[in-house]
């Protein structure tokens, strides 16, 4: 099963997934995918496989990506080798764009893990980052990002401590592993 992690900026996706990955290290039921991104490794954010635009395009042309998309002026890709893990009924956990969810659902058994938080919490976290002014934060929060209809969605609200949020994520991942095993 492909478990697509999505959610608004400030929801704490990277924090919760990092904690879950650490706690589930060595658990063969799960594979946490490292995305290829056309962003330098030293740019910060998630740990990713940094590619320049030409290398990304070469891999895309060679059909090396199971899914790929562009966003925020960057290109993102998920490696094709996830298909072997899915065939073995492992849960492949990947941070995806909402823009590729319908394609992912058409190609793979898919569950979406929507990590979110109340608007006030999102606003406070975005402000604490210091990347945007108040008007930009308000505009970002006003954009309603909807999911395509008909998807299997589990939602985790990250509104307390990172440890509590990670425990909720691990519960959702464990349910996905049980469902993948039964399929």
pLDDT reading at 144 higher than 70: no
How do strand 153-157 and strand 110-116 relate by DSSP bridges? parallel
Q: Given pLDDT bands bounded at 50, 70 and 90, which one contains residue 69?
A: very high
* Domains in the chain: ranges and CATH: 2-178 (3.40.50.300)
For the stretch 97-135, pLDDT in tens is: 999 999 999 999 999 999 999 988 888 888 887 777 888
Q: In angstroms, rounded to a whole number, what is the distance separating the alpha carbons of residues 38 and 36? A: 7
Q: Are 175 and 32 in contact (CB under 8 A)?
A: no
**Closest among 8, 37, 23, 5 to 145, alpha carbons compared:** 8
pLDDT reading at 60 higher than 90: yes
């Amino acid at each position: 099963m492909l478990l697509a992690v999505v959610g608004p900026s400030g929801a704490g996706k990277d924090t919760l997934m990092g904690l879950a990955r650490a706690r589930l290290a060595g658990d063969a039921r799960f594979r946490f995918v490292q995305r290829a991104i056309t962003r330098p490794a030293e740019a910060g954010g998630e740990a990713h496989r940094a590619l320049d635009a030409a290398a990304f395009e070469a891999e895309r042309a060679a059909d090396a990506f199971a899914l790929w998309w562009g966003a925020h002026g960057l290109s993102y890709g998920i490696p094709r080798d996830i298909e072997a893990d899915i065939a073995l009924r492992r849960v492949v956990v990947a941070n995806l764009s909402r823009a590729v969810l319908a394609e992912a659902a058409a190609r793979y058994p898919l569950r979406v893990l929507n990590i979110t938080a109340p608007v006030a919490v999102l606003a406070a976290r975005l402000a604490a980052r210091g990347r945007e002014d108040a008007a930009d934060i308000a505009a970002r929060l006003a954009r309603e990002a909807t999911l395509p209809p008909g998807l299997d969605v589990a939602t985790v609200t990250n509104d307390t401590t990172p440890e509590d949020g990670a425990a909720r994520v691990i519960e959702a991942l464990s349910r996905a592993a049980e469902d993948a095993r039964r399929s």
